[in-house]
Amino acid sequence: MADALGRIVGSNLFEVPSGPDVRSADRERVTLAAMEMGAQYIWGAALPRDPRGGRRGGIDLLVKDSTGYVPVLVVRHKITDPGQGARTSPLTMPLPDGSRTDPHRKVRPQPRDQLRLAHAQRQLQAAGYARNGRATGGVIGMDADVVLWHDLEAPTWPGGRNALAEYDARFSDRLAVALAAANEKDPLARPSRIVDCKTCPWWPTCDRDLKQGRDVSLVVRGEDAAALRKIGLSTVDKLAELDPSAEGPVQLVGMPFGDAVVLARAWLRDLTLVRRVPEMKVPRADVEVDVDMESFGDLGAYMWGCLLSGKDIDEEHGYRAFVTWDALPCDDEARSFAEFWTWLTGIRLRAKARGLSFRAYCYNELAENRWLLASAERFAGKPGIPTIAQVKEFIGSDSWVDLFGIVREQFLCAHGKGLKVIAPAAGFSWRDPEAGGENSMRWYRSAVGMNGDELDVDQRQRLLWYNEDDVRATHRLREWMTSDAMSRLPFAGDL
């Protein structure tokens, strides 16, 4: 994006040095110097610290009008939807004064963007470089064709609040928690596991504390944990003492109360999985294909990996990947998706012609279905691209099986339902010890040299191995679930 802006605004763009060898304090000094000399556009700004307010941070872009600077974010997600009413300006004029009411776009709600802009606005105000008038911030989305402008003082939040007021309330709460911890006072907040914990840098610390206290949030979702604590069931041990067949003292949101009791008992015995049913039911077929898709944020799906197994249909069994190594978004994505769809359809038709049953499997169809439909829509009319109707027919048929849904229905999972948790119980392990969705994003950036990252073609093979192991994991899980090993797995009714 910096290169694109450089081509648009030319020498008016000032880029703050970055990299592992550049200290944050030096970047802040350079940013401050650029604002002092009145640079029109400042890329990669590290805003001056606000010690009195307890703030520090940066912003992708600062743009200057006659009275001061306005923060602009660059994000990898959609910021508008078809409609009207959004205020936008072209990239050739990335200034709020150049904005207009867009007749083709409406704002897609992205609260995180507005809160990040509010943080930058408060830093600019503390440094004395915010522009006069209403607080405003811009966002450049994944399409990178316009700047969307948010009025941070407009009452667009629940209860008639604006983004700045919402930010101030949340920041005040977090600052109070941090100050209490720093002063070794009674903590204002205690850990409780929620979905977002897995991506939080503090999770290793909270995980340790929760396990030491055997906190009930380790086996139930966040709101259910809060409800259980209110009636004195704050630990896994206390929950496990109850009768799973009796009516629970509270109504849980995430699961039946009896399941929560069984999960607590499984957790205490360090059991990853417990059967909910006496006999597992997994749809099988003569010809089977395991599918796993790799995407990069909202920019697109760059790889479709497949593992063919089952009866012979004159097609080599094993793994194959349909992939583009052009940086997303790109036209070559249409080619790789079309090749994947053509191959998969050919396998289905060949099996049908021989009187053989066919099924394709994935783990958590939400991701695959999203990009199957989105790819058909985005690349409609290009060679080999299916219609949306054809995709909907496939994903709605018995030929498309979501193993995640089967795991959720037939197992109780004491440590989570992710493939990286469940497949090892079936005896599968990934070749790469760092295999994971978040790491794959980093590998992809290097594999295509995205956003100035140094090109590292070795990461392409790493991504191929990662994808292959994912499809082999679903294959191994399915084989295991339909084997005699299931009879040796603990049954919920026996705990």
Q: Which two tokens stand for residue 243?
A: 């009768």
What pLDDT shows up at residue 6? 61
Burial (CB < 10 A; 0-12, 13-18, 19+), residue 361, is buried
What pLDDT shows up at residue 354? 96
Kindly report, as residue ranges, where domains of CATH 3.30.420 are found in the chain. 287-488
At 196, is the pLDDT very low, low, confident or very high (cuts 50, 70, 90)? Answer: confident
What pLDDT shows up at residue 451? 61
* Amino acid code (one letter) for 210: L
Higher pLDDT, 219 or 9: 219
Tell me which CATH code domain 287-488 carries.
3.30.420
pLDDT tens column, 245-263: 888 898 888 888 998 999 9
What pLDDT shows up at residue 204? 85
Q: Is the pLDDT of residue 4 over 70?
A: no
Q: Which two tokens stand for residue 384?
A: 């080999």
Average pLDDT, the chain: 90
What pLDDT shows up at residue 455? 87
Kindly state the average pLDDT of the residues 224-236: 91
Kindly state the average pLDDT of the residues 366-375: 93
Q: Is the pLDDT of residue 158 over 80?
A: no
d(CA 418, CA 199): 14
466 close to 435: Cβ distance less than 8 angstroms: yes
Q: Is the dihedral of CA 104, 110, 114, 119 positive or negative?
A: negative
Picking from 337, 289, 335, 293, the residue whose alpha carbon sits closest to that of residue 315 is 289
Looking at residue 317, what DSSP letter applies? -
Query: Which alpha helices (DSSP H) does 306-457 contain, by range?
Result: 332-353, 365-378, 388-395, 403-410, 419-425, 437-448
340 close to 322: Cβ distance less than 8 angstroms: yes
What pLDDT shows up at residue 284? 96
What whole-number percentage of the chain has pLDDT above 90?
A: 59
Residues ≥6 apart with Cβ < 8 Å to 190: none
Q: Is the pLDDT of residue 46 over 90?
A: yes
Residues ≥6 apart with Cβ < 8 Å to 391: 372, 373, 376
368 close to 362: Cβ distance less than 8 angstroms: yes
d(CA 138, CA 148): 5
Higher pLDDT, 294 or 494: 294
Residues ≥6 apart with Cβ < 8 Å to 282: 403, 406, 478, 481, 482
99 close to 148: Cβ distance less than 8 angstroms: no
Q: Is the pLDDT of residue 189 over 80?
A: no
Q: Is the pLDDT of residue 156 over 60?
A: yes
d(CA 248, CA 263): 14
Q: Is the pLDDT of residue 185 over 90?
A: no
d(CA 190, CA 177): 10
d(CA 453, CA 76): 16
12-16: long-range contacts (C-beta < 8 A, 24 or more apart)? 12/39, 12/40, 12/41, 13/40, 13/41, 13/42, 13/43, 14/39, 14/40, 14/41, 14/42, 14/43, 15/42, 15/43, 15/44, 16/42, 16/43, 16/44, 16/45, 16/46
pLDDT tens column, 411-466: 988 888 899 999 999 999 999 999 888 889 889 989 998 866 678 999 999 999 99
Residues ≥6 apart with Cβ < 8 Å to 392: 373
Q: Is the peptide bond before 329 cis (omega within 30 degrees of 0)?
A: yes
* pTM recorded for the entire structure: 0.68
Looking at residue 196, what DSSP letter applies? G
Higher pLDDT, 66 or 388: 388
Q: Is the dihedral of CA 325, 330, 336, 340 positive or negative?
A: positive
pLDDT tens column, 281-302: 999 999 999 999 999 987 899 9
Strand pairing of 273-275 and 400-402?
unpaired
413 - beta bridge partners?
273
d(CA 33, CA 48): 10
Give kind and range of the element (H or E) at residue 69.
strand 69-74
pLDDT tens column, 93-145: 888 888 899 998 999 888 889 999 999 999 999 999 999 989 999 999 877 78
404 φ, ψ to 5°? -60, -45
At 3, is the pLDDT very low, low, confident or very high (cuts 50, 70, 90)? Answer: low
Least confident among 1-15, 72-86, 122-136, 331-345: 1-15
- How many angstroms from the chain centroid is the CA of residue 144? 20
DSSP SS3 for 52? coil
Based on DSSP, count helices (H) and strands (E) in the chain, helices before strands.
15, 17
Picking from 334, 326, 330, the residue whose alpha carbon sits closest to that of residue 380 is 334
Q: Is the pLDDT of residue 8 over 70?
A: no
